[in-house]
Amino acid sequence: MKQGSVGPRLYRLGKKSNLDGVIMRLGFVKNTGVSAFLVAMLVVAPQVWAETFTAKVVGVSDGDTVKVLTEQSCDSGKDCRSGKIQYRVRLAEIDTPEKKQPYGSKAKQALSDLVFGRMIKVEQIDKDRYGRLVANLYVDGKWVNAEMVRSGSAWVYRQYAKTPELFKLEAEAKADKRGLWALPESERTPPWEWRRKH
């Protein structure tokens, strides 16, 4: 892997690749007119890949986004800070109130209390359209994303959620009126709905 790269190398399926040859040799495609590309997508797409690394949290932007400084060295570039690579990381599967929403600053503080200035494990699962890594974060063996939901500082982000445990934690936080769930219902607009209106 190149210095500074984060994700694993993915197949470029638009061109003839080794994967095409493997699929053909295994007999998945035999003069049926079905493209090896389509079969390859069925094989590759469901797989979840993750790149894991440790980093220090050097900034908290809001309740679901942090800046981390890795141990990886760099010479220059937009992600290079003090000779180390810095990334913006969006917590996977959760969404917190925006800064201008009720509970927005408290959600940011809750995340800061958990991770700011600490070494964490970052398990990258994707990259979003803003260039942020989308990841699960762990500190002292605790899954930070789940802790944010458990404390009532985050919603489960329904559009992207894949972990049933998070829905259970959210239901418990709501039943116990923890965090944002203690707010009047009129002040509990899910952030994805709030963003559509503002």
Q: Is residue 6 part of a domain?
A: no
This prediction has a pTM of 0.74
Quick one: 39 and 59 in the same domain? no
Judge whether 133 and 124 are in contact, CB under 8 Å.
yes
Question: What CATH number does the domain containing 153 carry?
Answer: 2.40.50.90
Residue-range definition of the domain harbouring residue 38: 13-47
Respond yes or no: is residue 165 known to be catalytic: no
pLDDT at position 22 is: 38
Catalytic pick from 98, 147, 150, 170? 98
DSSP alpha helix (H) spans, the chain: 18-25, 36-44, 104-115, 144-150, 164-175, 191-197
| CA pair distance 191, 111, nearest whole angstrom | 16
pLDDT at position 79 is: 86
Q: Is residue 143 part of a domain?
A: yes
Respond yes or no: is residue 129 known to be catalytic: no
pLDDT at position 40 is: 46
Catalytic pick from 90, 147, 150, 170? 90
Catalytic pick from 132, 147, 150, 170? 132
Respond yes or no: is residue 132 known to be catalytic: yes
pLDDT at position 49 is: 55
pLDDT in tens, 103-132: 999 999 999 999 999 999 999 999 999 999
Low-confidence ranges of the chain (pLDDT < 50): 1-31, 38-48
End-to-end CA distance of the chain: 41
Quick one: 91 and 29 in the same domain? no
Quick one: 139 and 170 in the same domain? yes
